Structure 1
Amino acid sequence: MTPSAPAKLALEDGTVVTGTAVGAAGETSGELCFNTSMSGYQEILTDPSYSGQVMMMTYPHIGNYGAFEQATEADRPHVAGLVVRQFSRDPSNSRMEETLDAYMARMGLVGISGVDTRRLVRHIRTKGVMNCVISTVDLDDASLVAKAQAAPSMDGLELASQVTTGEAYDFSTEGTRALAVYDYGVKRNILRSFAHLGCRVRVFPASTPVAEVMAWEPDGVFFSNGPGDPRAMPDAIEAARAVIASGTPVFGICLGHQLMALAEGLEVYKMKVGHRGANHPVLNLTTGHVEISTQNHGFAVREEGLDGIAEVDHRNLNDQTVEGLRFSRFPGFSVQYHPEACPGPHDSRYLFDQFVALMDGDAPEPPAVPTPTATPTDA
């Protein structure tokens, strides 16, 4: 698109803003969310967990270091669209292979720049996330608002089947432990993290029968991140329940965390805004230390009903929501946030080591971290 080509963004509540087009020409819709990361925009764009969502970046300058293949978490963008305050069309980076604008155009990703993202973020924080439409081809306000209102709600929407692998494949064939991964939209860095720790990693489609997965004789099963409403995934919940019943060590991240909770009879609810960014503080209740985490979720596990099922061992310090569970009735644990980062800090990478220890039959040890000079509070 030319730098001056017009574009509009319309929300389902009637809000309409005008800006300039970036990336591909066309029209797109999805749930408008915001991400507070200051960098890592290409990892965000290619994270399958963002399928069905239009991503608004709170950091004002996006695209300033271009785009390159090594920064991707999947083979294509999965966000529905991109909203930014100021788009850099003259990036500088020795690793750059193309501009972000060229990457988005090549991948068919529609975006809009020149938007007062600060005002829109405040609007979303007050009203809650809602559907929107970005268009470079239809600039009629009433038409765009109607399209946003007609877009499917994320509440009750199953999306993992759209991003999972088509067939099982081996990500890593070398290692002393066999890890089976249920792919609901798994990020590459999760797979790399396990492979780095000496795991043979086989990735299975989301609909794979548990009997087929267990026939591979895994030492552990991982339930991955992914998009959509976990409550709309009864087959995945049943799969988690069957794996849990087998006694095999289990680990879940994000959507996988929610599926494990649902399999154990806990409740999951849709959040008003959700958590998306690479700077969210999480209190590790085992060590008393605060970890800065990468987050990307619009659903959360309800804390009521945990007795005898699981205990909360990680808690979000911004809103006190559940960020991690240690389960009582089987060898397994799960976290709502993303310890693999990409983008983001690596404070919680020890969780992969803990799960490898669990696969080896050892009780996970708390991470070796220095004693804090001050006791964290949950204020």
Structure 2
Amino acid sequence: MDQPQIRQSQFDRSPAALVLEDGRVFRGRAYGALGRTLGEIVFTTGMTGYQETLTDPSYAGQIVVQTAPHIGNTGVNDEDDESADYWVAGYAVSRASRRVSNWRATESLEDRLIARGIVGISGIDTRALTRHLRDRGAMRAGIFSGSAAGLGEAEMLAAVREAPAMAGRSLTDTVTTREAYTVPAVGEKRFTVVAFDLGIKAATPAQLAERGIEVRIVPADTTFEEVQRLAPDGVFFSNGPGDPATADHQVDVLRQVLAARIPFFGICFGNQLLGRALGFGTYKLVFGHRGANQPVLDVASGRVEITCQNHGFAVDAPIGEAVEAPAGGLGRVEVSHIGLNDQVVEGLRCLDVPAFSVQFHPESAAGPHDSRSLFDRFAQLLAASSSSAPASA
């Protein structure tokens, strides 16, 4: 994103343009900081939780379109951020609220966008834009406002087409923590888990901590030898942005975790990396799954859960009977969850090593709470592995 120009008035609705890679242009008004920004454009169907969306590192490098028509009415606060930054490359809404009405709000959404340098656009037909993306797929796009709005459409389109595509893009190093830190267990400590920050949300270690788990959050480039020195009861891989095909280091570490029979749990990007570690491929979805209303079938129980999701890639694994992991030496694996909208793999369960993962976000911030029991399942896996481990000499 270019250096934004900060506006003096939050209601200065100067012209802005959103230009798609395929040449379609949506004209509206500036929202947030002024300037030019480029990224992959995606839509999210959540009707609430825009603050959690904006602070989710999984959206790094993406221009987010809100399908809900009215955004900003509850403002923002200092408690609901899911990370220390606002990661979206840009923001597109239909109607931006001019007033904030919520007792928890500390400032307006637009003030926060300006302060964080997020270039956005309002006053466009997000329904038409979403339908276009559902037909054509996620693609590169740009938002141009302020002096950048004066560029010709051909010049804007050229800038968009020169931007990097999401396929093949590595963003983990952009969002990961630089220093390890610890989230202490709530109440009595039962276990210690090493959590790889691939773009982790604050609600995830909080959910683990509530189950008596001390969470040691480490940078994405942590080695298996460093994990071993921490002697954890389990390992966790978080959500995160970018193409899982670029995460070779994390896949190599995870294969060693699995071979050592250390209990493992992964979500979202972590699910894709478990798939790769087991020997499956990954592929890019046409427009991805984003929002807090995605139905998923838990194959074992037959229960349908409404889940919160944010991913543009998926694991290419066979749905049905358990199969031998293609990587070899890791036993059998089965698809544990299936997306009901398009039959995408939404979870993996290893049958011969203590490992499982899901493609969605059980920490549910913001979103439905249907899947929080997965954190209980991980705690049970840690307990079972601890009880079966041989006593030390």
AA paired with 2:32? G
Q: How big is each residue's C-alpha offset from its partner over 1:316-355, in whole Å with a ceiling of 9 and x where there is no partner?
A: 1111111111113310100000011111000000000000
**Map of 1:233-272 to 2, 5 A cutoff?**
233-272=247-286
Q: Does 1:146 align with 2:158?
A: yes
The structure 2 residue matched to 1:344, chosen from 357, 367, 380, is: 367
- Separation in 2, partners of 1:81, 1:4: 16
Deviation at 1:144, TM superposition (A): 1.1
Q: Does 1:356 align with 2:379?
A: yes
Q: How big is each residue's C-alpha offset from its partner over 1:133-165, in whole Å with a ceiling of 9 and x where there is no partner?
A: 111132221111111101101000000110000
Q: Does 1:131 align with 2:140?
A: yes
2:390 aligns with: none
- Separation in 1, partners of 2:318, 2:162: 34
Q: Does 1:14 align with 2:23?
A: yes
Q: Is the 8 A contact 1:67 1:96 kept in 2?
A: yes
Q: Is the 8 A contact 1:283 1:316 kept in 2?
A: yes
AA paired with 2:156? L
**Map of 1:184-199 to 2, 5 A cutoff?**
184-199=198-213
- Separation in 1, partners of 2:76, 2:296: 30
2:235 aligns with: 221
- Separation in 1, partners of 2:317, 2:226: 33
- Separation in 1, partners of 2:159, 2:245: 26
Secondary structure of the residue aligned to 2:280 is coil
The structure 2 residue matched to 1:117, chosen from 126, 139, 162, is: 126
1:24 aligns with: 33
- Separation in 1, partners of 2:341, 2:199: 27
- Separation in 1, partners of 2:20, 2:123: 16
2:196 aligns with: 182
Q: Does 1:330 align with 2:353?
A: yes
The structure 1 residue matched to 2:324, chosen from 291, 297, 308, is: 308
Identity %: 47
Secondary structure of the residue aligned to 1:115 is coil
**Map of 1:159-170 to 2, 5 A cutoff?**
159-170=171-182
- Separation in 2, partners of 1:154, 1:307: 31
Secondary structure of the residue aligned to 1:69 is coil
- Separation in 1, partners of 2:55, 2:368: 18
2:288 aligns with: 274
Q: Is the 8 A contact 2:264 2:354 kept in 1?
A: yes
The structure 2 residue matched to 1:318, chosen from 325, 336, 341, is: 341
Q: How big is each residue's C-alpha offset from its partner over 1:160-196, in whole Å with a ceiling of 9 and x where there is no partner?
A: 1100000111122662200100110000000100011
The structure 2 residue matched to 1:288, chosen from 292, 302, 313, is: 302
- Separation in 2, partners of 1:176, 1:53: 38
Secondary structure of the residue aligned to 1:301 is strand
AA paired with 2:342? D
- Separation in 1, partners of 2:352, 2:166: 31
Q: How big is each residue's C-alpha offset from its partner over 1:108-145, in whole Å with a ceiling of 9 and x where there is no partner?
A: 11110001001111111111100001111322211111
AA paired with 1:325? L
1:155 aligns with: 167
2:328 aligns with: none
- Separation in 2, partners of 1:329, 1:79: 39
Q: How many residues align?
A: 363
Q: Is the 8 A contact 2:237 2:266 kept in 1?
A: yes
AA paired with 1:36? T
- Separation in 1, partners of 2:301, 2:113: 42
Deviation at 1:243, TM superposition (A): 1.0
- Separation in 1, partners of 2:351, 2:380: 17
Q: Does 1:61 align with 2:77?
A: no
Secondary structure of the residue aligned to 1:118 is helix
Deviation at 1:303, TM superposition (A): 2.2
1:51 aligns with: 60
Q: Where in structure 2 are there 5+ consecutive unaligned residues?
A: 1-6, 326-332, 387-393
Q: Is the 8 A contact 1:204 1:213 kept in 2?
A: no
Deviation at 1:362, TM superposition (A): 6.3
Secondary structure of the residue aligned to 2:124 is coil
- Separation in 2, partners of 1:143, 1:76: 30
Q: Does 1:79 align with 2:95?
A: no
1:375 aligns with: none
Q: What TM-score comes out, normalization by structure 1 length? A: 0.94
Structure 1 stretch displaced more, 153-162 or 165-174: 165-174
